[in-house]
Amino acid sequence: MCEPKQAPGGRGEAPRRLKPAQLLFEPPEAVSDPEHFFDLEKIEDPRELLARSTELALAFRAAADRATEFQAVAAAQLADPRRFDRLPTAVIAERAEWSEDYAKKMVEFGRELQRGSSPVD
């Protein structure tokens, strides 16, 4: 399981956003081929392969970080005691397939994002 992370840039600074590489949808026939991955297998020049694969890795990391922030905000909203339909942390953990301790951390991370200038607004 991934632990929630402090948004890049630290407290008080605007988070630094990486410009993600263009992610193109792969045709259905390519997805069924386990050796196919964003046409990387077709790149013969190692410099170009390194550059494109690095772009993809950074894009996926940025997307994962962004998705984690959305998860945290959603968890905080679901755990908000002011909500009539508030969910206990155990239920949030079960729905997200997290441990209860991790769900508690995500709720707090989400509250921090909501208090600050949340990058998911």
- pLDDT of the residue at 39: 84
Point out the residues of the chain with pLDDT beneath 50: 1, 6-17
Q: Is 20 exposed, middle or buried (0-12, 13-18, 19+ CB in 10 A)?
A: middle
Question: What pTM was computed for the model?
Answer: 0.65
- pLDDT of the residue at 36: 75
- pLDDT of the residue at 89: 96
Measuring CA to CA, which residue among 88, 89, 119 is closest to residue 105? 89
Whose structure tokens read 């964003």? 38
Q: Is 16 exposed, middle or buried (0-12, 13-18, 19+ CB in 10 A)?
A: exposed
Cβ atoms of residues 43 and 49 within 8 Å: yes
- pLDDT of the residue at 22: 53
Beta carbons within 8 Å of 52's beta carbon, 6+ residues apart: 21, 38, 40, 43
Tokens found for residue 10? 């630290």
